[in-house]
Amino acid sequence: MITPKSITKKQAKHILKLYEQITRAEILARLGSIRNLECVEYATIKIDKENELREYLYNTSSLVELGEIWKLVKSKRRKRKKSKNSL
């Protein structure tokens, strides 16, 4: 996991490059033509680049895992079965 204290110049350049690619893909996805599904292609590219950036920064691209790490998402708790002898 990359932290602000441990980041190198090379890593910072790579992050900026990925962010630029994400922004370009988002712009093209929003302005792309629906007729030939250009916008869908660019939206897919944007999602792939976001996953690549998350993988680079946090060593995982799973939003569920990140949510659990940051305590934004609670893991499902098992429900207890009621015993037959209880009222």
Domain boundaries, the chain: 9-63
Burial of 70 (0-12, 13-18, 19+ CB in 10 A): exposed
pLDDT band at 87 (very low <50, low <70, confident <90, very high): low
pLDDT bin (cut points 50, 70, 90) of residue 84 is confident
The span from the CA of 23 to the CA of 27, in Å, is 6
Percent of the chain whose pLDDT exceeds 90: 59
Give tens-digit pLDDT for 5-42: 889 999 999 999 999 999 999 999 998 877 878 889 99
DSSP H/E element including 14 = helix 9-31
Phi-psi region of 67 (alpha: psi -120 to 50; beta: other; left: phi over 0): alpha
Q: Are 80 and 67 in contact (CB under 8 A)?
A: no
Task: Report residue 58's pLDDT band, with 50, 70 and 90 as the boundaries.
Answer: very high
CA distances from 44 to 21, 22, 37, 73, 86 (A): 12, 10, 11, 25, 53
Give me the pLDDT at residue 35, please. 81
